[in-house]
């Protein structure tokens, strides 16, 4: 038994109107990717026109020149450290020594001229830095390229993720479209009410049986249930089943055995012949015993197809009759009769769709707008795929 599963049902009842729209997000992500790609291409185009190696060389020269200025400014100015002054002159001249046709060659020459003096002041260093400013354009250009590359990679990652989410949403929309055949005006309560009434009653009946029947009766019932198609029960562990069958304590209800397992040895000796055997068999399987309930005897919602449900109930009736009263069995028979009714499949299909879809999706089915949403999602997915392909590097 258990809960019915389905792709659409897993989305829950919270409603999709509070969630981001994967169609819009994928379209926006594709547009951002195209923008980031075009920006990167534009910057790379400027660098290519200038010559990538020439731009990088100009940027390297600019950085070297600034490092030398920063390193020697304090020691080389005024009439201080003459040795530092000499080293500075040599290192700076080497740093800005470029070919005449190099990018920013005039800026490097002007910077060299600004400090080519027998005595240097702080103003000379400032003038050298000002002279280097045109060359800083190439440092900025490379930095813009790196930033644009990072932005492009992020945009591409986001576009791929958005496309993945959109593809999943498209599958969901197609599932919804496939449910458009359901009659959402069908009186589903006609089916829901007897199923819910039976499920509640059989749970209560099993709970009473569990509390009152001997452990042997309970395990015999579980063995019988395990042999019944459609009933998924956990059979007793072998050592526990053997204890219940062989020891007199097996005549007690399972809750009583659990209570005994909590007694001290001295107290337990007044209730069972072998306290150690009870502890060994019962205490270690406490979780199994406590989890036993009537859920395996319930009917799924939405219920199975008519023929399958009728056969399932035929198998359940003799089993349920052992733990439940006549009214509960009669309700189960009424559900079986309904499963054989000509109207059953219409009711079941409506129940299946209502259970699987949240309110916004049900509205799409009611209004007939779901096919338009499918087409919109398909178009956007195609655009996203095209943009990803066209912007691949």
Residues 6 or more apart whose CB falls under 8 angstroms from that of 251 comprise 214, 215, 216
Number of helices (H), then strands (E), in the chain: 17, 0
The average pLDDT across 45-54 equals 96
pTM of this structure: 0.61
Q: Which of 69-78, 85-94, 359-368 has the lowest mean pLDDT?
A: 69-78
**CA end-to-end span of the chain:** 52
Q: What pLDDT band is residue 83 in, cutting at 50, 70 and 90? A: confident
Residue 118: both structure tokens together: 């027998």
Residue 264: both structure tokens together: 């001290």
In this model, does residue 197 exceed pLDDT 80? yes
Query: What's the pLDDT score for residue 6?
Result: 42
- Cβ atoms 28, 257 nearer than 8 A: no
pLDDT in tens, 304-336: 999 999 999 999 999 999 999 999 999 999 999
Query: What's the pLDDT score for residue 80?
Result: 62
Between residues 55 and 275, which one has the greater pLDDT? 55
pLDDT in tens, 204-256: 999 999 999 999 999 999 999 999 888 999 999 999 999 999 999 999 999 99
Please report, to the nearest 10 degrees, the dihedral formed by the alpha carbons of residues 200, 201, 204, 209 taken in order.
-140
Query: What's the pLDDT score for residue 368?
Result: 84
Q: Which of 373, 19, 346 is nearest to 174 (CA)?
A: 373
Query: What's the pLDDT score for residue 1?
Result: 47
The average pLDDT across 336-350 equals 94
In this model, does residue 268 exceed pLDDT 90? no
The DSSP secondary-structure symbol of 14 reads S
Query: What's the pLDDT score for residue 146?
Result: 97
Query: What's the pLDDT score for residue 13?
Result: 38
Q: Which of 3-7, 51-55, 248-252, 316-320 has the lowest mean pLDDT?
A: 3-7
């Amino acid at each position: 038994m258990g809960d019915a599963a389905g792709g659409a049902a897993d989305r829950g009842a919270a409603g999709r109107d509070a969630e981001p729209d994967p169609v819009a997000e994928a379209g926006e992500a594709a547009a951002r990717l195209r923008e980031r790609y075009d920006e990167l291409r534009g910057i790379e185009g400027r660098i290519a026109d200038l010559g990538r190696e020439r731009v990088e060389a100009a940027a390297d020269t600019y950085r070297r020149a600034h490092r030398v200025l920063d390193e020697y400014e304090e020691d080389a100015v005024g009439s201080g450290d003459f040795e530092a002054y000499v080293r500075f002159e040599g290192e700076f001249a080497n740093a800005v020594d470029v070919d005449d046709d190099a990018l920013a060659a005039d800026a490097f020459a002007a910077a060299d001229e600004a400090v080519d003096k027998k005595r240097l002041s702080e103003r000379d260093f400032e003038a050298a830095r000002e002279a280097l400013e045109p060359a800083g354009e190439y440092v900025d250009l490379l930095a813009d390229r790196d930033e644009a590359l990072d932005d492009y990679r992020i945009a591409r990652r986001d576009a791929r993720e958005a496309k993945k989410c959109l593809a999943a949403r498209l599958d969901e929309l197609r599932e919804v479209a496939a449910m458009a055949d359901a009659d959402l005006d069908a009186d589903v309560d006609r089916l829901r009410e007897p199923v819910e009434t039976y499920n509640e009653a059989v749970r209560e009946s099993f709970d009473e049986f569990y509390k009152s029947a001997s452990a042997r009766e309970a395990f015999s019932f579980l063995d019988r249930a395990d042999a019944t198609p459609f009933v998924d029960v956990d059979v007793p562990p072998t050592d526990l089943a053997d204890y219940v069958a062989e020891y007199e304590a097996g005549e007690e209800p399972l809750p009583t055995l659990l209570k005994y397992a909590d007694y001290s040895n001295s107290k337990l000796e007044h209730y069972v012949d072998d306290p150690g055997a009870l502890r060994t068999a019962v205490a270690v399987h406490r979780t199994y015993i406590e989890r036993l309930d009537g859920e395996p005897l319930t009917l799924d919602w939405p219920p199975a197809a008519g023929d399958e449900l009728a056969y399932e109930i035929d198998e359940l009736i003799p089993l349920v009759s052992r733990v439940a009263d006549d009214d509960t069995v009669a309700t189960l028979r009424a559900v079986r009769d309904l499963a054989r009714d000509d109207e059953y499949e219409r009711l079941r299909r409506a129940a299946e769709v209502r259970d699987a879809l949240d309110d916004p999706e049900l509205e799409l089915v009611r209004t007939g707008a779901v096919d338009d949403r499918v087409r919109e999602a398909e178009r956007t997915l195609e655009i996203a795929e095209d943009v990803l392909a066209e912007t691949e590097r």
